[in-house]
Chain A
Amino acid sequence: MTMALITYKEAVRQAMQEEMRRDENVFLLGEDVGVYGGAFGVSLGMLEEFGEERVRDTPISEGVIAGAAAGAAVTGLRPIAEIMFSDFITIAMDSLVNQAAKMRYMFGGKAKVPMVLRMPGGSGTGAAAQHSQSLEAWLVHVPGLKVVMPSTPYDVKGLLKTAIRDDNPVVFIETKTVYNKKGEVPEEDYVIPFGAADVKRIGRDVTVLATGVMVHRSLEAAEILAKEGIDVEVIDPRTLVPFDKETLVKSVIKTGKLIIVHEACKRGGFGGEVAAEVMESEAFDYLDAPIKRVAGKNIPIPYCMELEKSAVPQVDDIVNAVREIV
């Protein structure tokens, strides 16, 4: 397999381009995705290749974006809709939650809603409280939605292709702080199935389950801890819905200890769900310490970049959490 070293952002773009070349029903819509090339430059050059019909700039209305995408999907197209910041999902919620997520079920399987709602999430850019949130827990809560949260260029490309080929609405949360992170990606076509976690680092002493940028921070923390003789296993679930419980349970049975790391606020966060899944599983009898969550503080993300940092987990926070329970 030939591998190319490309950024996360390029991997997203390649996935969209390759799928649009493969299937003429696939198209992209969103604010500034065409002429401007996307707020983060993700769709740069796509308007030139696919034209205005298939790369559509929309009005500044997330309600329209999600509604149009759901409508297009149910009538036979395969839209990729971009929400400029995941924070704006609030405006798209009705179309997404009450329409897109429900149609296939309520029409007895006669309607399909093959749409992908892409959105960059997370903090770290100094964009303040309305442009920095991690709202995946809201979406995970809605039956009928699949929720994907890739952390590396390889994962994002393979998972986005799977999302586009899926006949159900998929919320695809991109991690904006890793848009420029490079990684090896096969040049050949490949897809990554939903519901398959990836063990990013094999370890013996403690399991760290992390999402998004926290995967990278956990791996960094693992290297620091390795010098102290603590062997950390890092698992990236990659898709929150469906969730690969089996890989996690197997790991916890091995290590007896679990730390869940996410950027979103701890209260009501996805970590609580993961912890409960483990407690209900056969891994319970192997737990040798309380499950720990390392997550964002229960506050709006501050604008000041120093304060912003202290509101979400950093490498040191993960290192300390591991030291406390190992």
Chain B
Amino acid sequence: MATELLMPKLGMTMEEGTIVTWFKKVGDSVAEGEILLEILTDKVNMEVEAPAAGQVLAIIAAEGDIVEVNKPIAYIGQPGEKVESHAAQILKTEEQHTAQVAATAAPVQSAEGIGGKVKASPAAKRIAREEEIDLHAVSPSGPGGRIIAVDVTNYKASPLAQKIAQDKGVDLAEVAGTGIGGKIVKADVESAVAKLGSKTKGARKPLAGMRKVIADHMADAWAAPHVTHNMEVDMSGMVELRKKLIPGIEKRTGVKPSYNDLIIKVVAKALREYQQVINARLHSDGLEICDEVNVGMAVALPNGLVVPVIKNADTLSIEEITKRAKELAMQAKEGKLLPDEMSGGTFTVTNLGMYGIDTFTPIVNAPEVCILGVGQLQDKVVAKDGEMIIQPRMSLSLSFDHRAVDGAQAAEFLRRIKELLEDYLQLI
């Protein structure tokens, strides 16, 4: 019997995966354990191995398809072997579909009543009136040959047309039907898809993969009552420290420490000191005070955002943080982060300084309770001892979940970060 290849469940929260690339096609032979395809899960790309040796008999999910976990995506077996019937069902070619649609296009049963009137429910009649559909052409499915509401809604487009419209984000209400009785058929939807490209109105694409995860996560996180504190910091000390550190660290690791790395170091120390209040995660059943200080760093990608986590950041030296941060950022850019490397965070640092942003209001990365936004570093004129002096300065924005953290607590924590940034000797 053919072996079924299922969409693997690669994480506790994974509910669906997107097929990125098939490395084999139907008819190719594969060895057990050979890489068969790449999938995109909640923010990560993963390679999937062939579960058995044999020939790829069928591929059910095409590249770009989103498939629920534990649902079949392909079959592997001996040449000539038949795949199971339900798979075969899905495998029906478009031509077969089209033939089927054509066969059902003509009403199988007439809803004609006495005197040529149509038997239809009031709801069906209302929809037909609104959509300008001739009920004589609609096939009834209600008792006694009555047209009911669902018959009219289904009538407008063939099943295949409905499927394509859904996949391509086409609004059927705006598609003119050219089929029997004005029915919308596959060709109508396809030409509408083609037109969509030239129209200014954008085609809708379903939120999938990472985008969907981000969307859901942001909507959840937004439920927290947010407050943001802003504070400006004198970065003279940090500029000096970084200059001193660069040669040694670069020599040993090949990478330079960034201001962000220094900030992570500072934040980790402050988090250890304020562990009871800030280093926490808020769950529906209570506040979890976390033992480990795990600092997440937001990494922007062309198609979204990931937050790899530097575990036990408070126990790492600046050099170790620098090295780890660079590794994680590289993996993130290649889409190779493992789920474990993106979970367990207790605090997040997000830096928009490189875009010239001065200050912003980050959204807390739930279930964490605080997030630090880092603005750009720039020389500013400040008053000191009655004199104007020029100083490298930077804005910090601490957003917090006001359910878990009070304004004064957050202010104290932010002040401590400022203190550490302005007096790096305290880091020793």
> Once bound together, how far apart are the Cα atoms of A22 and B276, in whole Å?
57
Contacts of A256 in B (CB 8 A): 121, 123, 149
> Once bound together, how far apart are the Cα atoms of A324 and B143, in whole Å?
8
| A256 to chain B: closest residue by CB | B123
Contacts of A190 in B (CB 8 A): none
- Interface residues of chain B, those whose CB is within 8 Å of chain A, are 121-126, 142-143, 148-149
Shortest 3 CB-CB contacts between residues of A and residues of B: A288-B123, A285-B126, A288-B121
Instruction: Select B122's contact among A286, A324, A325, beta carbons within 8 Å.
Output: A286
> Once bound together, how far apart are the Cα atoms of A191 and B101, in whole Å?
60
> Once bound together, how far apart are the Cα atoms of A248 and B124, in whole Å?
20
Sample (11) of A-B pairs whose CB atoms are under 8 Å apart: A256-B121, A285-B122, A285-B125, A285-B126, A286-B126, A287-B123, A288-B121, A288-B142, A288-B149, A289-B142, A324-B143
A249-286 contacts to B, CB under 8 A, are 256, 284-286
Instruction: Select A285's contact among B123, B142, B143, B148, beta carbons within 8 Å.
Output: B123
> Once bound together, how far apart are the Cα atoms of A287 and B124, in whole Å?
8
Q: Mark A287-326, 1 if CB is under 8 A from B, else 0.
A: 1110000000000000000000000000000000000110
> Once bound together, how far apart are the Cα atoms of A325 and B123, in whole Å?
14
Contacts of B143 in A (CB 8 A): 289, 324-325
Contacts of B142 in A (CB 8 A): 288-289
Give the Cβ gap from B160 to chain A, nearest Cβ, in Å: 26
Give the Cβ gap from A204 to chain B, nearest Cβ, in Å: 14
| B150 to chain A: closest residue by CB | A288
Interface of chain A: mostly helix, strand, loop or mixed: helix
> Once bound together, how far apart are the Cα atoms of A324 and B146, in whole Å?
13
| B124 to chain A: closest residue by CB | A288
Give the Cβ gap from B210 to chain A, nearest Cβ, in Å: 33
Give the Cβ gap from A321 to chain B, nearest Cβ, in Å: 13
Contacts of B123 in A (CB 8 A): 256, 285-288
Contacts of B124 in A (CB 8 A): 288
Give the Cβ gap from A188 to chain B, nearest Cβ, in Å: 32
Contacts of A325 in B (CB 8 A): 143
Give the Cβ gap from B308 to chain A, nearest Cβ, in Å: 43
| B144 to chain A: closest residue by CB | A290
Give the Cβ gap from A167 to chain B, nearest Cβ, in Å: 41
Give the Cβ gap from B151 to chain A, nearest Cβ, in Å: 10
Give the Cβ gap from A165 to chain B, nearest Cβ, in Å: 41
> Once bound together, how far apart are the Cα atoms of A286 and B143, in whole Å?
17
> Once bound together, how far apart are the Cα atoms of A287 and B143, in whole Å?
14
Give the Cβ gap from B144 to chain A, nearest Cβ, in Å: 10
Contacts of A284 in B (CB 8 A): 122
> Once bound together, how far apart are the Cα atoms of A320 and B142, in whole Å?
16
Give the Cβ gap from A70 to chain B, nearest Cβ, in Å: 45
Contacts of B125 in A (CB 8 A): 285
Give the Cβ gap from B399 to chain A, nearest Cβ, in Å: 38
Give the Cβ gap from A286 to chain B, nearest Cβ, in Å: 5
> Once bound together, how far apart are the Cα atoms of A256 and B151, in whole Å?
14
